[in-house]
Structure 1
Amino acid sequence: MSQQDHRPHTAVRRADRPGDLGWVVMAHGEVYDRQYGWNTEFETLVAEIVADYATRHDPAAEAAWIAEADGSRAGCVFLVAGDEPGVAKLRILLVTPDARGLGLGTRLVGECLAFAREAGYRRVTLWTNDVLVSARRIYQGFGFTLTDEESHRSFGHDLVGQNWTLDLYGDPPGERRDRDDRP
């Protein structure tokens, strides 16, 4: 088997090892600088999210995951409590460029949503930017819907921020059918 035929062994695990949280901050800073030219404002935002998680998270209601490819960190996602009861936030999804196309983003979001259901959340929200097309495709694949968007200047660029929402349980089938059957 040639080097180019090698398909990495992948895994998704909890972000609970020394270096995991620091890697999340570093990887976001480096990847978003290379890919989008985003400045250190973005890395600072990620560092704040990670620091808040590290110092205040409730393990029964919040978690973080690391994706690995051949034993090396290759992605991450966090789930934290939202501002309203029963609502969680999906935060800082990332898959490194070398690991894209391996399904890790989908696996990370799947783990995140399974945990959200087990923890009793009824809804998951997230904020992203419209330039993050691959991430948006993953969110849409899980049923997230765009709730609003707004232009902003951040990370050294003019961007369009988007808020997405997923109702984890939705309407019971009978209620959905009744609503869909209305004229």
Structure 2
Amino acid sequence: MDERRVAIRRADRPGDLGWMVMAHGEAYDREFGWDSDFEALVARIVAEFATSHDAQREAAWIGEVDGERAGSVLLVSGDEPGVARLRILLVTPAARGLGLGTRLVEECLSFARATGYEAVVLWTNDVLASARRIYQSLGFSLVEEERHHSFGRDLVGQSWRLQLA
């Protein structure tokens, strides 16, 4: 059996950002029944990145399996000085179990350290158990939970933080 080729690259090719939006919309509808409000949120996040990111301090990555897009993540400046935000981590269902999600987050953390951030924060929902396991394995700590109704579902939002310094 051939081993699958897993690679991480910058999201700098035509179609990469649009793929992020589409892949999130499709995956979260299929897996969790989330409505198009979620895809709209991802579209706003990606559009903001596309039009106004600081290339010295913010970046986006695509994970590929056998040369095909299979995952994504963004690292952007957070609301506090010295704090970055990890956003829109996704690994497509067909690419799960290959370590792609961990590699994408590790790429973010490596970039954050090299860029001088002191901490990385993220917001997720408790139903995203695989992502949570990645965050925990890399040292993130849960700092807050809050129930909310979003994307057509009752959810529990979670804020996570990792001190880099």
Please give the per-residue CA displacement for 1:30-71, whole angstroms capped at 9, x wherever unaligned: 000000000000000000000000000000000000000010
Within the candidate set 93, 100, 114, 2:89 is matched to 93
Structure 2 residue 120 is matched with structure 1 residue 124: yes
- 1:43 aligns with 39
* Structure 2 residues without counterparts, runs of 5 or longer: none
- 1:172 aligns with none
RMSD: 0.6
Runs in 1 of length 4+ with deviation above 2 angstroms? none
- 1:76 aligns with 72
- 2:61 aligns with 65
- 1:52 aligns with 48
> Separation in 1 of the partners of 2:3 and 2:37?
35
| Structure 1 residue 6, shift from structure 2 partner | 3.4
* Structure 1 residues without counterparts, runs of 5 or longer: 170-183
TM-score under structure 1 normalisation? 0.89
**SS of the counterpart of 1:59?**
coil
- 1:167 aligns with 163
- 1:147 aligns with 143
**SS of the counterpart of 1:135?**
helix
Larger Rg: 1
| Structure 1 residue 7, shift from structure 2 partner | 2.7
> Separation in 2 of the partners of 1:6 and 1:163?
39
**SS of the counterpart of 2:70?**
strand
| Paired letter, 1:137 | R
- 1:13 aligns with 9
**SS of the counterpart of 2:55?**
coil
**SS of the counterpart of 1:55?**
helix
Residue identity (%) = 70
- 2:100 aligns with 104
| Structure 1 residue 8, shift from structure 2 partner | 1.4
> Separation in 2 of the partners of 1:20 and 1:41?
21
> Separation in 2 of the partners of 1:7 and 1:64?
26
> Separation in 2 of the partners of 1:22 and 1:63?
15
Please give the per-residue CA displacement for 1:136-183, whole angstroms capped at 9, x wherever unaligned: 0000011000000000000000000000000002xxxxxxxxxxxxxx
> Separation in 1 of the partners of 2:53 and 2:157?
25
Within the candidate set 7, 23, 28, 1:32 is matched to 28
